[in-house]
């Protein structure tokens, strides 16, 4: 009897301890979440606070200047929009095509495993390496010059592994039964891929594409390495033009000897964030539309 009571008490204490541990773990996770949000909020608020005075049409419209009051981001903003537009144009067909081949067509073989491993590794290569590669291949060998086209192709190299990996994940998530059903109804592999698999995978692919484009929008190092300039007196009007980009302006201004430029950099960061959020909203919309279409 006494034995049982002692055992029960022991169990109760054990359970209590476990419950405490469980609560403690929950608290630790909560702390982790709160610190992430707090860091993000701190960054956003400090950027907004510092950059707010410079926000306005003048910031968007003005050309570069030596005085912070007159300087604007027009040439940088348009340069960045050109870059991400062209990069998307190059990276999406290539990346999605490669992912389709690897997931839907390629047989399991040592060759495929090697390619797969390489793509995964390429996603981790520092972007400045791609910048130097771009300088060698696009600027000098293909003789594209230090043009916006060469810049976009360089950024395509940077984001291609991301697009391929994300698209593969999305394609893998499409249930095999859908493919089997399509074949059973007499569809060819092309019809199956184009009408069933691709639309079903589209939301996931779009997420990958947006991640890639956001990455391209924020990159400065590869562009500097391949020869983007710092000062340019007009926004590019063709793919052969010399160019600059928003991250270059932000970096230069943030390191400027005159402190008022640091606030201007904050304002430029806000614009960069707005562009990024707009892109994400477009993606969310596309995801929503495609998501509705897919009904099995």
Partner 1 sequence: MAATAKRMIALLSVGLASGCWSGGQGGRGTDVEIDGSSTVYPLSEAVAEEIRTAHPEIRVTVAKKGTGGGMERFSAGEIDICDASREMTKAEAELCAEAGVRFDRFPIAYDGIAVCVNPKNDWCDGLTVEQLKEIFRLDSPIQKWSDLNPDWPDEEIKLFGPGADSGTFDIFKEEVLGEDTKSRTGYTQSEEDMVLVNGVKADERALGYFGFSYYVENTDGLKVLGINAGDGGFIKPTNETISNNTYVPLSRPLYIYVNLDSFQDPKVANFVKFYLDNAAELANDVNHVPVGAEITADNQAKFKELSSDVAKPVGG
Query: Helix (H, G, I), strand (E, B), or coil: what is residue 234?
Result: coil
199 lines the binding site for partner 1 (CB under 8 A): no
233 lines the binding site for partner 1 (CB under 8 A): yes
Of residues 49, 240, 285, 288, which one binds partner 1 by CB under 8 A?
Answer: 240
Q: How many CB atoms lie within 10 A of CB 43?
A: 11
234 lines the binding site for partner 1 (CB under 8 A): yes
187 lines the binding site for partner 1 (CB under 8 A): no
The answer to whether the CB of 223 falls within 8 A of the CB of 154 is yes
285 lines the binding site for partner 1 (CB under 8 A): no
If phi over 0 gives left and psi between -120 and 50 gives alpha, with beta otherwise, what is residue 41? alpha
Separation between Cα atoms, residue 48 and residue 96, nearest integer Å: 37
Separation between Cα atoms, residue 193 and residue 91, nearest integer Å: 20
Q: By rule CB under 8 A, what count of residues binds partner 1?
A: 43
Separation between Cα atoms, residue 102 and residue 164, nearest integer Å: 9
Minimum CB separation from partner 1 for residue 40, in Å? 23
The answer to whether the CB of 265 falls within 8 A of the CB of 253 is yes
Give the binding range for partner 1 (CB under 8 A) out of 7-15, 171-179, 226-234, 280-288: 226-234
Of residues 8, 22, 180, 230, which one binds partner 1 by CB under 8 A?
Answer: 230
93 lines the binding site for partner 1 (CB under 8 A): yes
Of residues 80, 88, 147, 167, which one binds partner 1 by CB under 8 A?
Answer: 147
Of residues 178, 241, 275, 284, which one binds partner 1 by CB under 8 A?
Answer: 241
**First-to-final CA distance of the chain:** 63
Q: How many CB atoms lie within 10 A of CB 172?
A: 12
Question: Which is nearer to partner 1, 182 or 214 (by Cβ)?
Answer: 182
Question: Which is nearer to partner 1, 137 or 275 (by Cβ)?
Answer: 137
Separation between Cα atoms, residue 121 and residue 115, nearest integer Å: 10
Catalog residues that contact partner 1 under the rule CB under 8 A. Answer: 63-67, 93-94, 97, 100-101, 105, 139, 142-147, 149-150, 189-190, 224, 227-234, 236-238, 240-242, 254-259
């Amino acid at each position: 009897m006494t034995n049982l009571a002692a055992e029960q008490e022991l169990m109760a204490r054990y359970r209590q301890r476990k419950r405490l541990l469980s609560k403690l773990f929950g608290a630790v996770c909560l702390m982790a979440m709160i610190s992430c949000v707090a860091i993000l909020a701190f960054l956003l608020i400090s950027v907004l606070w510092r950059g707010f005075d410079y926000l306005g049409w003048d910031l968007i419209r003005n050309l570069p200047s030596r005085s912070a009051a007159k300087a604007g981001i027009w040439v940088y903003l348009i340069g960045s929009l050109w870059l991400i537009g062209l990069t998307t144009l190059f990276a999406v067909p290539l990346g999605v095509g490669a992912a389709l081949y690897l997931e839907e067509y390629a047989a399991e073989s040592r060759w495929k495993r090697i390619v797969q491993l390489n793509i995964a590794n390429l996603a981790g290569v520092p972007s400045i390496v791609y910048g130097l590669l771009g300088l060698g291949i696009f600027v000098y060998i293909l003789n594209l010059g230090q043009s916006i086209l060469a810049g976009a192709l360089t950024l395509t190299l940077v984001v291609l592994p991301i697009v391929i990996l994300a698209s593969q994940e999305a394609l893998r998530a499409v249930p095999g039964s859908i493919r089997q059903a399509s074949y059973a109804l007499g569809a060819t592999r092309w019809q199956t891929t184009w009408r069933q698999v691709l639309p079903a995978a589209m939301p996931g692919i779009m997420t990958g594409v947006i991640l890639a484009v956001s990455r391209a929008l924020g990159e400065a190092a590869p562009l500097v390495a391949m020869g983007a300039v710092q000062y340019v007196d007009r926004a590019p009007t063709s793919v052969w033009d010399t160019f600059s980009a928003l991250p270059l302006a932000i970096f230069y201004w943030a390191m400027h000897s005159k402190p008022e430029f640091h606030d201007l950099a904050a304002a430029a960061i806000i614009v960069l964030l707005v562009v990024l959020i707009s892109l994400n909203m477009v993606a969310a919309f596309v995801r929503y539309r495609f998501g509705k279409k897919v009904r099995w």
